[in-house]
Amino acid sequence: MNGESGRIGTGEGESDVIISIDAMGGDRGVDVVVRGMGKSLKANPRLRFIAHGDADLLKRTIHPGTPLAERTEVRHADSVIEMDEKPSRALRRAEGSSMWNALTSVRDGASTVAISCGNTGALMALAMLCLRKAPVLPQEIAMLCLRKAPGVNRPAIGVHFPSLNPSGFNVLLDAGADIRADSDDLLKYAVMGASYARNALDLKRPRVGLLNVGTEEHKGRSELHDAAGRIAAVAPTSDFEYIGYVEGSDMPSARVDVIVCDGFTGNVALKTAEGTASLIRGLLKEAFAYSPLSRIGALFALTSLKRLQNRIDPRRSNGGVFLGLNGTVIKSHGSADATAMAAAIRLAFTLADHSFTRKLAARVGASDHPADAQQGLTP
C-alpha cells in the first residue's frame, strides 16, 4: 500500500482509491451516508472507504458480507462535532471525534480525500489545524496536522455552479471559507480554481473571471483592480485564460469556467442562486397544480420537468472542496441524501485519481515563483 497517496495498486488510473468518510456529521444520520457509499461502490468498483464514527452503529449499518463491508474499514471515534457547535469549541474537543479522525487519516496518508457532512466552520478550522504547511515549533507538532499548503494564506471553498458549459458546471470560489480576501488571496484563488477546474471538470485551459459589479475596468473595489492585474500577469504561465471581470449574471454563463471572489460575496451568491432555484421550483409546482387542465398538462410534461429537475438538482453538485491545504477535504451538504453523498464521493474519487493535492501544491508554488512555471507543470 502506498501510504502517501491513499492508493492500493500499481498505476494511476487503475489502482484502488481510498476515501475517508466522517460518517457521523450529517443531519440525516449514518444510514444515509452508508447508502451513499454503497451506491458509489456499485458505480465504481475501484473505491475503498475508511468510515469514521461509532463502530457498533457503523458495523450494524454496513451489512456484513456485502461488497461494501468488504471494501470498508470501520475506525471507531468516541465523539461527534455537533452541527451548531462554534469552531472554537470544536477545536478544543476535536481529538477523538469522527471529523478529526477523518482528517488525520488523510494527513497520515491512509486515504487521499476526506468527506464530512458536518459543521462547515468546524471542518474548516480542524482541517486548517490538521492540514496546513509544516509547523515551526516542536511543541506545535503534537497539536497541528493538515495545515495550509505552502504559499496559501487563506484556504478557499470551491463549489460547482450549474452552468451552460458542456460540463454542466462552473467553479465558484471562495464559497465561504473566509469573509474577506485581499488581492493576494484572490490571485491564489484564481490559480487554485484553475487547477481545480482542470482536474475536476477536465478542462485544459480554464477561463477565469473575477466577480465584480460591472465589467468596465474602473468598476468595483480597489483590491479587485489590483488582483485583476496580478491574475492577468500569471495566466500565460499558469495554463489558464484570464477573461477579466464577470458579473453575478455570468455565474451560470458559458463564457467563463472559474469565478473568483471573496468568501462573503461567494457565499451570498451561491445561497441566492439556491433560493432563486427553489422559488422557481415551487412556483412551477404551483402553476401546474392550478387547475384540472394544468394538472393534465403536468402529466404530459412530466418527462420534460424531470429532465429540467435533473439538470438543476443541487444534489448533483453536492460537495464543496477545501482548496489550499496539504490534503483534499470535501464538505458535503448537511442534509445530503444518498444521491448527494454519492456525488460528493464521485468528486472525491476524481480528485484523488488525478493526484489533485500534489498538482495543486505545484501550481500554487509556481505562482509564487513564476520562473518555475516555464518548466511545464502537471495540470
Chain residues in the site for a second copy (CB under 8 A): 84, 86, 162-164, 176, 179-180, 211, 213, 216, 218, 220-221, 247-253, 261, 263-265, 267-280, 282-284, 287-288, 290-291, 293-294, 296-305, 307-308, 311-312
Nearer residue to a second copy within complex by CB, 20 or 212: 212
Nearer residue to a second copy within complex by CB, 316 or 354: 316
Check: CB of residue 197 under 8 Å from CB of residue 171: yes
Antiparallel, parallel or unpaired: β 7-8 and 16-22: antiparallel
Nearer residue to a second copy within complex by CB, 57 or 312: 312
Q: Taking the complex as a whole, how short is the minimal distance between the CB of residue 300 and a second copy, in angstroms?
A: 4
Q: Taking the complex as a whole, how short is the minimal distance between the CB of residue 309 and a second copy, in angstroms?
A: 9
| Amino acid identity at 24 | M
Q: Taking the complex as a whole, how short is the minimal distance between the CB of residue 84 and a second copy, in angstroms?
A: 8
Q: Taking the complex as a whole, how short is the minimal distance between the CB of residue 272 and a second copy, in angstroms?
A: 4
Grid cell listed for 163: 452552468
Q: Taking the complex as a whole, how short is the minimal distance between the CB of residue 261 and a second copy, in angstroms?
A: 8
Supply the DSSP string of 19-56, one letter for each residue: EEEETT-SSS-HHHHHHHHHHHHHH-TTEEEEEEE-HH
Nearer residue to a second copy within complex by CB, 143 or 280: 280
Nearer residue to a second copy within complex by CB, 106 or 269: 269
CA-based radius of gyration for the chain: 21
Grid cell listed for 102: 477523518
Q: Taking the complex as a whole, how short is the minimal distance between the CB of residue 73 and a second copy, in angstroms?
A: 34
Of the candidates 379, 354, 368, 352, which has an alpha carbon nearest to the alpha carbon of residue 109?
352
Q: Taking the complex as a whole, how short is the minimal distance between the CB of residue 247 and a second copy, in angstroms?
A: 5
Grid cell listed for 46: 475501484
Grid cell listed for 340: 448527494
Of the candidates 82, 154, 165, which has an alpha carbon nearest to the alpha carbon of residue 116?
82
Nearer residue to a second copy within complex by CB, 53 or 263: 263
Of the candidates 41, 34, 39, 47, which has an alpha carbon nearest to the alpha carbon of residue 8?
47
Nearer residue to a second copy within complex by CB, 140 or 274: 274
State whether the Cα torsion 295-297-300-304 is positive or negative.
negative
Question: CA angle, 124 as apex, 177 and 186 as ends, to 5°?
Answer: 30
